[in-house]
Amino acid sequence: KIRAASADGAYDTRLCHDELRRKKISALIPPRKGAGYWPGEYADRNRAVANQRLTGSNARWKWTTDYNRRSIAETAMYRVKQLFGGSLTLRDYDGQVAEAMALVRALNKMTKAGMPESVRIA
């Protein structure tokens, strides 16, 4: 089950936030520069806007919400695409999930094979 979704500020829209809330997924989306408060059920986003106004940037919010995990995921996807190509060959969803898992498994094996074996000398 997906618990949180990270996206950049381009996805800071009510439509996105509403869809994530409908699916009970926490939205880790930084507010756009100069964003205003939204009425209603947008408490998490409004806290991010308040933080942005207090500090002048989204840096503190990104640190406290582990938003940096998004860049780690993007780096992992970049590695997969560079090694195996930018698209999946299977068309149905279950097949794509299995194919993606196989690619990640292969990437992990390749990474492990390239790691040095360190031993303590004294």
Instruction: For 92-118, give the DSSP string.
Output: SHHHHHHHHHHHHHHHHHHHHHHS---
Checking if the pLDDT of 17 tops 90, the result is: yes
- What integer is the mean pLDDT of 11-25? 94
pLDDT tens digits, 74-93: 898 899 999 998 888 999 99
Strand, helix or coil at 1?
coil
Residue 7 CA to residue 46 CA, distance in Å, equals 17
Q: What is the pTM of this model?
A: 0.68
22 C-beta neighbours (distance < 10 Å), count:
8
Please give the share of the chain, as a percent, with pLDDT higher than 90: 52
Q: Where are the domains of the chain?
A: 4-67, 70-114
- pLDDT tens readout for residues 28-39: 999 998 899 999
Mean pLDDT rounded to a whole number for the chain = 90
